[in-house]
Amino acid sequence: MEGIYNIKDLEDKIATEKGVLLYLSSDSCSVCKVLRPKVTELLHEQFPLMVSHYVDIEKSPVISGQFRVFTIPTILIYFEGKEQVRYSRNISLHQLEASISRPYKLVFEE
């Protein structure tokens, strides 16, 4: 998961990539530290064509404000530049997988 801290770069990635997952958290969040490798593994195994980015909201408060993220961890999923799914705080990996699966197939398996 690539770290990104510039709002312009992030907006460009969302606009140009077919599928983007944003993982917003901070280094001080212990739940975030445990969940992040699991989300990375899920993407690597199930959705290898999706691009993922990590945003530390303490280092990038502009990004958290622009994307209306007020609790962590938050996962935002974009397909073709449009937000499809948003999860905050309590995140189930099974629910996350199910939410990504259908739009992923539509976008990448045309």
Distance CA 10, CA 29 (A): 22
pLDDT at 51: 92
- Cβ pair 49, 103 in contact under 8 A: no
Query: 70-104 pLDDT, tens per residue?
Result: 888 999 999 998 998 899 888 888 989 999 999 99
**Domains (ranges, CATH) in the chain?**
2-108 (3.40.30.10)
Q: Determine how many CB atoms are found less than 10 A away from the CB of residue 93.
A: 12
- Give the CA radius of gyration of the chain: 13
